[in-house]
C-alpha cells in the first residue's frame, strides 16, 4: 500500500470484516510546525464479494462455509 512516506506492507487478518479500520502510526500527514513528525494514517477495509461465480465455485464456497 502506498502512503505519504512510501510503501508499507499490510497483513490482512483472517475474517476481517468490511468497514474495519486500522491505524498506521506515523504514516500520515506531517505535523504542522513540527519537522520530522508525522500524524497517523487510518485505513478502512472495503471487502468486495466475488460475483459471476461458476456453479462449481459456488459449490466449493458452500462446502467451505460448512467446515
pLDDT band at 67 (very low <50, low <70, confident <90, very high): confident
Q: Which three cell numbers stand for residue 23?
A: 491505524
Q: What is the pLDDT of residues 49-62, one digit of tens each?
A: 888 999 999 999 88
pTM reported for the whole predicted model: 0.65
pLDDT at 45 over 90: yes
> CA–CA separation, 57 vs 63, rounded Å?
10
Average pLDDT over residues 30-53: 91
Percent of the chain residues past pLDDT 90, beyond the cut: 52
Percent of the chain residues past pLDDT 70, beyond the cut: 100
Dihedral, 8, 11, 15, 21 alpha carbons, nearest 10:
-30
CA–CA distances in Å: residue 60 to residues 4, 20, 34, 36, 48: 40, 26, 54, 51, 18
Amino acid at each position: 500500500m502506498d502512503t505519504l512516506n512510501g510503501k508499507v506492507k499490510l497483513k490482512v487478518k483472517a475474517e476481517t470484516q468490511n468497514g474495519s479500520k486500522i491505524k498506521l502510526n506515523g504514516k500520515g500527514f506531517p505535523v504542522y510546525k513540527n519537522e520530522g513528525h508525522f500524524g497517523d494514517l487510518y485505513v478502512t477495509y472495503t471487502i468486495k464479494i466475488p460475483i459471476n461465480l461458476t456453479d462449481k465455485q459456488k459449490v466449493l464456497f458452500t462446502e467451505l462455509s460448512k467446515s
